[in-house]
A and B are shown apart, each in its own frame.
Chain A
Amino acid sequence: MYRYDEFDQAIVDARVAEFRDQVARRLNNEISEEAFKPLRLMNGIYLQLHAYMLRVAIPYGTLDSRQLHMLAHIARRYDRGYGHFTTRQNIQYNWMKLEEMPDLLADLASVEMHAFQTSGNCIRNISSDQFAAAAADEIADPRPYAELLRQWSTLHPEFSFLPRKFKIAVTGSTIDRAAIQLHDIGLELVHGAEGEIGLKVLVGGGMGRTPLLAHVIREFLPVADYLSYMEAILRVYNRHGRRDNIYKARIKILVNDLGPAEFARQVEEEWAALKPLGLDPPPSELARIAAHFQPPVLDADAPVEIDLSNPEFANWVAVNTHPHKVPGHAIVTISLKAPGEIPGDASADQMDLIADLAKAHAQDEIRVTHAQNLVLPHVRRDALFTIWQALKGAGLATANLDRASDIISCPGLDYCTLANARSIPIAQKLAVRLAPQEADLGELKIKISGCINGCGHHHAGHIGILGVDRKGEENYQLLLGGSGAEDASLAKILGPGFDENGIVTAVEKVIGRYQSLRSGPGERFLDTYRRVGAEPFKEAVYG
C-alpha cells in the first residue's frame, strides 16, 4: 500500500491547520456562511437534511487496518456509531458537528487520510478495481497509476475550478469492476504490440441527468506519457466546457457536442504542445510509487481444497469469494447488504472487526467497492471458515454478492438535501422480498437513486429505480437494461412511475416475467432483457 512521504503529509497537515482557522473564524462570525461554504465543501463537508455530512476520500478504495480502525473511531467519537460506504468507494458520516471537524480531520490526517476533493468542481477521488493485485484476470495492478493521478490532481491549481466535478476510474482488467465506461475518464491497462503496458483512454461517460457511455479516444497510450495526456484532456475540457449551464457542464456533453473524433483531435493537438514541456514524471517516480504496491508474498502451496461440509459456509464461499491469482487463496467480498439493513452502512464495531480480520488474514488490506461492499483481497482458503464465523457473528456473512438483495442505494431523502424521494426503504423492502428467491435468479443488479444525480447508479442497473417528486409526493420510475460492467449499457425507463409499494410490486412483476421468459437457468435477467426487449416487461407491469 502507498505510504505518504513528507510532502503528502505536509499537504494534509497544512490543510487541517488552515481549516481549523477557517472554522474558528466562521464560529466567531468573522466570515459569513456565503464565504465559508465553499471552504467547507473543499474539505468534504456538506450540510444535509439533519446535520453536516462529511465525505472522506478513500483513494482507489484501498485501506489498511489502521485506517479502517480510525474510520470506526470517527464513527464512535464524532458520529452516531456508523458510517456509509458510497458508490465512489468513499465513506460518509451523517451526524457531524462543524465545531468538532478540525479535530476529526487531524485524526484522519494521522492515518494518511483526508476529505478534500470529495466535493466541488475538481478532480474527485480516483476509483479503481476492488480486486486490484488479486484478480486472476488482471494485466497489472492499476493502483500505482491511480496513485500518480491522485498526486497530480491533489490541489492542482489549474484544475481546482473546472466547469463541473470530474471523475476518473482506472482498471487493470478487461473484466470491468470499476465502471470505466461511466466515468469522465476511464483508463484500462492494456498490452501493446511488444507486450509492453499502456493505457486505453475512454472519455465522456457518466450518469446523472444525461447518461452517456464513454468513447475510446486512444487505444494505446504509453504509460510514460499518460500524465501529460491527462493534462491535455483536462485542458481541452477546462477551455471549452459549458460553464454557462450546470446541466451541460460535464465533459460528456462537450465530447458529445464536438463528437469523439474532433474531441480526440483537439486533445492530441494540445498534447503535442504539452508533451515537450516535461510534465511527465521520470520513470523512476512511477517506479517509486509502484514499489509501494508490491504484491504480497503469498504461499502458492497453500491448500486449495477446504472443508465445505457446512452448507451455509459452502454457499457463502460459492457466492462471496472469487479466485485469487495465487493458488490456495481467495478474494472475499463482505456484503454490507443484509436484507432489511441499510445498503453500505457499517457500524463502528463492524469496521473494527473487519480491520482485525484484514490484519490477521488478508495482508492488512481492505477494499471498498463501488457497489458499497468491502473486500478482503488476499485470503488463504484455509482461513475462510474462521473469517466466515467471525463475520457471521457480526451480521456480515450474507451470501448475496451481485444478487437481487445486493442492492446499490444512495442515501436518498432520508439524508440528502437534493433528494426527491427515499431510496433506502425501497432497497430494504426489495431485498427482504427478493432474498428468498435470489439464488434462482442469479446475477441481478438493482440500483436505486433518490434523484436524477444518479449517485445510486440507476442507469447502470439491470433494474434501475429513480426517485422523482410528484407534487411533493415520492414517486419512482422503473428502468431496465443497464450495466456498468464491460458490457455497459444504459437502462431505459419502462413507463409511468409508481408509489413506494407500487414500485416494489412492479419489480416483482418484472422478475416474474423474466423467470418465465429466460432460456435457461444460466441466462441472466440482463441477457433475457437484451434478447426479448422491453415489451414483455411493459406488458407484465402495465398490461
Chain B
Amino acid sequence: MPRLLTGNRVETGDVIWWTGDGWSLHLKDAIAVDDSGEALIAQFSPQERINDLALIDADPSDAGWRPRTTRERVRAVGPSVRPDFALPSIPVESI
C-alpha cells in the first residue's frame, strides 16, 4: 500500500504533503514515500519546522490519491461541512 508523508506547517498549522523535493498544500502533489518514510521523518523531525509528521496509507485512483481513513480524507480536503473551503484533493461528497 502506498504511504504518503504529511504534517502541519509550524507557522500556520497548514496541512502539507511531501512532494519529493518540498512540501505542498495539495494532496495531488504528494509522492508515495513507502519504505523511505521513516528515514524522512528522522530527517525532518530535528529541523522542527513541521509538526505531527506522520505516514498515512492512501490508494491511487484516476482522480489522484485517496487516503484510506475518513480522518485523513477530511484532513486532505477540509471540513466536510464547509465545502466552500474545500481543497482540490478529493470531492467533499466522497469523504
Given contacts A49-B74, A414-B80, contact A98 B69 (CB under 8 A): no
Contacts of B49 in A (CB 8 A): 29
B12 at the interface (CB under 8 A from A): yes
Q: Is there contact, CB below 8 Å, between A32 and B48? A: yes
Given contacts A29-B48, A47-B52, A415-B79, contact A80 B85 (CB under 8 A): yes
- Our pick among A47, A48, A96, A422 for the contact of B80 (Cβ within 8 Å) is A422
Q: Which of B36-69 contact A (CB under 8 A)?
A: 47-49, 51-52, 68-69
Q: Is there contact, CB below 8 Å, between A419 and B71? A: yes
Q: Is there contact, CB below 8 Å, between A52 and B13? A: yes
Question: Which A residues are closer than 8 A to B by beta carbons?
Answer: 26-27, 29, 32-33, 47-52, 80, 94, 96-99, 342, 413-415, 419, 421-422, 424-425, 428, 472-474
The list of the 9 closest CB pairs from A to B, nearest first, reads A51-B13, A414-B79, A52-B13, A472-B69, A97-B12, A424-B81, A99-B11, A49-B75, A414-B81
Q: Is there contact, CB below 8 Å, between B14 and A472? A: no
Report how far A156 CA is from B72 CA in the complex, Å. 39
Residue pairs across A and B with CB atoms within 8 Å: the count is 70
B27 at the interface (CB under 8 A from A): no
Given contacts A49-B71, A472-B68, A473-B70, contact A98 B79 (CB under 8 A): no
- Known contacts A27-B11, A50-B75, A422-B80; 13 further A-B pairs (Cβ under 8 A): A33-B48, A47-B13, A47-B51, A47-B52, A51-B14, A52-B13, A97-B13, A99-B12, A413-B71, A421-B70, A422-B70, A425-B81, A472-B69
How big is chain B's contact interface, by range?
A: 20 to 34
Report how far A414 CA is from B8 CA in the complex, Å. 16
Q: Is there contact, CB below 8 Å, between A27 and B85? A: no
Which residue of the partner chain A has the closest CB to B8? A47
Report how far A518 CA is from B8 CA in the complex, Å. 52
Report how far A96 CA is from B9 CA in the complex, Å. 12
Which residue of the partner chain A has the closest CB to B52? A47
Report how far A96 CA is from B51 CA in the complex, Å. 15
Q: List 23 A-B contacts (CB under 8 A).
A: A27-B10, A27-B11, A32-B48, A33-B10, A33-B51, A47-B8, A47-B51, A47-B52, A48-B13, A50-B13, A50-B79, A51-B13, A51-B15, A80-B85, A99-B11, A413-B71, A414-B74, A414-B81, A421-B70, A425-B80, A472-B69, A472-B70, A474-B70
